[in-house]
Chains A and B, each alone.
Chain A
Amino acid sequence: MTNDIITPSSWWGSFEFNSEQSRLWHIGPLTFMVRCLNGEWQVAYDRLSEIDEGNASWDIEDTDQLPESLGNNSRYVFRQTAGLLTIMPLLADRSVITRPLTPFNLTAGEEVTLYVSTPLWLEVAVGSPKKALQEIAIQRPSDTWFGPSTREGELCYASATHCRLSLDELPQRPHRAITPVLIRNQAETTLSIERLNVPAPLLTLYACADGQLWTPKITLIREKDGDMAELKIDHIAPQEARQAEKLSPPRMTVASGALIQAFNAVFR
């Protein structure tokens, strides 16, 4: 009988289940439950409607509650259940738009590092090799549009928190990942930063020993002519989290290391 949690230092990892066993996760605003039956897995979840940014805790508990007590209930039927469940954090499947508390200007030749907190999803998978059952957003971010007009642009998620100039000002949450963004203005005019597009699907996710999740550093360079922006993504964990281990690969891969994008596609 293994009721103990295998990796209690984090809410993700692999968990052994006995038949008829149910576990309940509380991660930030999300409550989600997995029940293992003979030949069946049941997954259910609910989210707090009020976004409580102060709720930074997480816990996992065994429960007698039935999945029907939560909304969003789904059942997965198998020939036989191995009893192994894997929960993995994932970054957003669309870019995340964030804005500073108040817009600021970056004069010619200057550079700045911003810290952005992006929302996470969790992937529920069972068995070995893993069979993914579903992805659940820990906090459903609001949709937003990023583009020069209502005809052209990209559908993104709006980050509920602002990007900060100092890491200490950014609230650290177990259910959000932090991305350092270095912005360098090589053009001769001042760059006004109102909104910033973080390409979350292109980023790898790293975990620190303290449970904080990080992504590699992004470097955005505004080119000399001012119309184009170069986007570089590091292949290692950021300096702030050097000991971090890799958790999940990017959802999308790009062929080359650097991306040249229209200036409008990155800054507004």
Chain B
Amino acid sequence: MTEYWTELVNFLSGDKIWSMTRAFLLVVIGVALAKLVSSTIARLVGKMADSHRAMLLKRGSYYLILILFLISALHELGFNLSVLLGAAGIFTVAIGFASQTSASNLISGLFLVAERPFGVGDVIRVGTTTGEVLSIDLLSVKLRTFDNLFVRIPNESLIKSEVTTLTRFPIRRIDVQVGVAYKEDLKKVRELLDQVADKNPLCLEEPKPIYIFLGFGDSSLNIQYSVWAKRENFLDLKNSIHEEIKNIFDENGIEIPFPHRTIYTGSVTEPFPVRFEEATDNDSSFYDQYK
């Protein structure tokens, strides 16, 4: 018992306990200082730069300070850092093979941050997912979709695939595809479309709307009418312009046809037999709509 006691006293009175205490204190101070400095930087920068840059600086400063303090703490404990780094090199190779995906995501993340195709708050479309960017982290990008789902997209797939940033430019184009019957006067149709664009205040006057004749379709003359809108008004204009085109076509008797199908039995076979029957009371209301 006395031996244990003596050993404990020796241990406590020795240098080791003091260096451990100092190392522990360094880690605690490091964490506190890193938090304080990074949040102060984020607050100061947040007023001048966008949220994406502020977040990057906050994280960068946090990890930098923390790593410096951790290294000092290890040094205090008596670790020889050069040996440790050498060992870490061999260890990294082993880890690297084991965590290829994470490493690839990590490096892709660094490229994403450097290339900066989008920032926090932008709306992007990746594959079939469209949403607002919540954060760009080292391994993944987090999105909030418009139906309020949280989507995590690995950085590697963002680097490999096509990403569309919907909020990069201030104005957007809406392509309205419309078909009119073959009998209609295309000049008049064009005038009516211009009238609709002119009257709608959300539709930009300049760049001018674009009228493209797409071709002779199966049952209609196909037209594309492209109008420009302020990005924020995109949906409002998309809804209103379709409605207004339909209304003005109805008012002016312009037919928007739907596909027609003529059933032909061929020249060899007999035509379909058609039989007339007298309508019953139940049927009369059904036939009334065709009168």
Contact = CB atoms under 8 A, between A and B. Distances in A.
A2 B191 CA distance: 52
A15 to B, nearest CB: 29
User: Which of B202, B204, B229 has the most CB atoms of chain A within a 10 A radius of its CB?
Assistant: B204
A145 B201 contact: no
Interface in A106-159: 140-146, 150-151, 153, 155, 158
Interface in B187-206: 198-206
Contacts of A158: 205-206
B230 A143 contact: yes
A246 interface: no
Nearest to B168: A151
B170 interface: yes
Given A145-B207, A145-B228, A146-B206, A140 B169 contact: no
A155 B170 contact: yes
A195 B230 contact: no
A141 to B, nearest CB: 7
B169 A145 contact: no
B230 A140 contact: no
B233 interface: yes
Contacts, number: 41
Nearest to B228: A145
A144 B233 CA distance: 12
Most central of B199, B203, B206, B230 by chain A CB within 10 Å = B206
Interface of A: 49, 51, 97, 140-146, 150-151, 153, 155, 158, 195
Contact of A145 (B171, B198, B199): B171
B201 A141 contact: yes
A150 B201 contact: no
Interface in B172-225: 198-207
Interface in B101-129: none
A150 B171 contact: yes
A143 B169 contact: no
A238 to B, nearest CB: 27
* Most chain B beta-carbon contacts within 10 A, residue among A141, A143, A151, A158: A143
Contacts of B207: 145, 150
A51 B198 CA distance: 11
B287 to A, nearest CB: 39
Contacts of A155: 170-171, 230
Contact of A97 (B201, B203, B206, B229): B206
- The 3 A-B residue pairs with the shortest CB-CB distance in the complex, in nearest-first order: A158-B205, A144-B205, A140-B201
Residue in A51, A141, A142, A195 with the greatest tally of chain B CB atoms within 10 Å: A142
